[in-house]
Amino acid sequence: MTTPRTAASSPPGDGSAWEGSGLPTQIAVLTGRLLRSLRDPRMLVVSVVQPLIMLALFSQMFRTLADSPHFPKGVAYIDYLLPALLVTTTAQATIWAGVALADDLRDGLVPRFRTMPIRLVSLLFARSLYAVARNALQLLVLLAASALLFGYRPAGGVLGALAALLVALTVSWGLSWIFLGLGARVRNPELLQTIGMVVIFPLSFVSSAFVPLAGLPDAARLVATVNPVTQAVEAARGLSLGEPRASWILAVVLVSVALGAVGAAWAAKEVRKI
Secondary structure of residue 197 in the 3-state scheme: helix
- What pLDDT is attached to residue 9? 41
Q: Is residue 132 part of a domain?
A: yes
Number of domains in the chain: 1
Q: Is residue 2 part of a domain?
A: no
Over residues 41-71, the pLDDT tens digits come to: 666 677 778 788 888 888 877 777 777 777 8
Q: 55 near 63, Cβ under 8 Å?
A: no
- What pLDDT is attached to residue 43? 66
What is the crossing angle of helices 157-186 and 120-149, to 10°?
Answer: 140
Residues 6+ apart with CB under 8 A from 62: 77, 81, 210, 211
Q: Is residue 29 part of a domain?
A: yes
Q: Give the torsion sign (CA, 40, 45, 50, 51).
A: positive
Instruction: Report residue 12's pLDDT band, with 50, 70 and 90 as the boundaries.
Output: very low
For the cut 60, the answer to whether the pLDDT of residue 163 exceeds it is yes
For the cut 60, the answer to whether the pLDDT of residue 124 exceeds it is yes
- What pLDDT is attached to residue 263? 94
Long-range contacts of 3-9 (CB under 8 A, 24+ apart): 7/116, 7/117
Q: Is residue 9 part of a domain?
A: no
Report the pLDDT averaged over residues 203-208: 87
Q: Is residue 68 part of a domain?
A: yes
Q: Is residue 13 part of a domain?
A: no
Report the pLDDT averaged over residues 158-185: 93
Q: Is residue 114 part of a domain?
A: yes
Domain hosting 100: range is 23-272
Burial class of residue 192, CB neighbours in 10 A (0-12, 13-18, 19+) = buried
Over residues 65-115, the pLDDT tens digits come to: 777 777 888 888 899 999 999 999 999 889 988 998 888 888 777 667 766
Tallying the residues shown for the chain, one arrives at: 274
Q: Tell me the chain's radius of gyration from C-alpha atoms.
A: 21
- Residues 105-134: b if buried by 16+ CB within 10 A, e if exposed: beeeebeebeeebbbbbbbbbbbbbbbbeb
Question: Of 101, 114, 92, which is closest to residue 267 (Cα–Cα)?
Answer: 101
* Amino acid letter, residue 13: G
For the cut 90, the answer to whether the pLDDT of residue 259 exceeds it is yes
Computed over every residue of the chain, the mean pLDDT equals 83
Q: Is residue 131 part of a domain?
A: yes
Burial class of residue 38, CB neighbours in 10 A (0-12, 13-18, 19+) = middle
